[in-house]
Amino acid sequence: MTRTVETDDISFAYRGGELSALESFSLAVEPGEQVALLGPSGAGKTTFLTLLDGRLRGWTGRAAVLGKALDPARPPPRTARPDVGFIFQEFALVERSTVLRNVLNGRLGRMTSVAAILGRHAPRDLAIARQAMADCGIAELADRRVDTLSGGQRQRVAIARCLAQEPRLILADEPVSNLDPARASDVLNVITAAAARRGATTIFTSHQPDLAVRFASRMVGMSEGRIAFDQPVENALGDDIAALYHADAPHLRVVQ
């Protein structure tokens, strides 16, 4: 079976950056895995997700997503890759539009260009959008304007929009970092359960190892653009995680 993600010996430095954001980085992800990328700020997590999303230029190495090689000189247009969904850290929603409209935007890459320009959604698009909203627990918010919602509700809209796209790979960059612990746990549960139900692969970044342990099947620790550890969650060691954050930080320890 084709791997969902296959990257080999990736290196990348931002222009003007002193250090490499990614350094001989190699990671393969199989279909259906739920991977948590952990690491301190600046470890390269966002850079790696941006690469997988096809938005990074000028890296070296080899990368393929869902069997298609990425070209570091020519990132594909977003709409050419509806199979890859991205949940942004800042929600990137259309504020003055309704929840339903925002979620339907997830269908754009699946529509003909004429239908997309005219905003003509087929009944099937509407059904998929409604299912995505139901899965995210926001069905009753369909007609509300996004700018009237709470942070947790907005994040659910962003997730529903991503699900409506019917991605086979979901990339989520700090999807719960702006939420309080109870909401963070709910929202990660929504993402991973919806992904599992659809057979989609998920890669999410997090600052919270305790959440990674609960919602991922595999934990990959990153530090200074490299892999520090890569383990199924049941084998992940509190010491590895604490070392990753360079800290004697008892609150980061994982309870086995």
Q: Which residues bind Mg ion (CB under 5 A)?
A: 45-46
Binding mask 2-41 for ligand ADP (x = CB under 6 A): ------------x--x-x-x-----------------x-x
Instruction: Provide the residue count of the chain.
Output: 256
- The burial class, CB within 10 Å (0-12 / 13-18 / 19+), for 124 is exposed
Q: How many residues bind ligand ADP (CB under 6 A)?
A: 12
DSSP string across 115-162: HHHHT---HHHHHHHHHHHHHTT-GGGTTSBGGGS-HHHHHHHHHHHH
Identify which of residues 45 and 121 has a Cβ nearer to ligand ADP in the complex: 45
With binding defined as CB under 6 A, does residue 55 bind ligand ADP? no
Q: Does 47 bind ligand ADP (CB under 6 A)?
A: yes
**Binding of residue 43 to ligand ADP (CB under 6 A):** yes
Smallest Cα–Cα separation from 190: which of 152, 231, 234? 152
d(CA 256, CA 246): 21
**CA 40 to chain CA centroid, nearest Å:** 17
Q: Which does 44 bind (CB under 5 to 8 A by kind): ligand ADP, Mg ion, none?
A: ligand ADP
Distance CA 23, CA 41 (A): 16
Specify the stretch interacting with ligand ADP by CB under 6 A; choose among 42-50, 56-64, 139-147, 158-166.
42-50
User: Is residue 206 close enough to count as binding ligand ADP by CB under 6 A?
Assistant: no
46 scored as a contact of ligand ADP (CB under 6 A): yes
Residues contributing to the site for ligand ADP (CB under 6 A):
14, 17, 19, 21, 39, 41-47
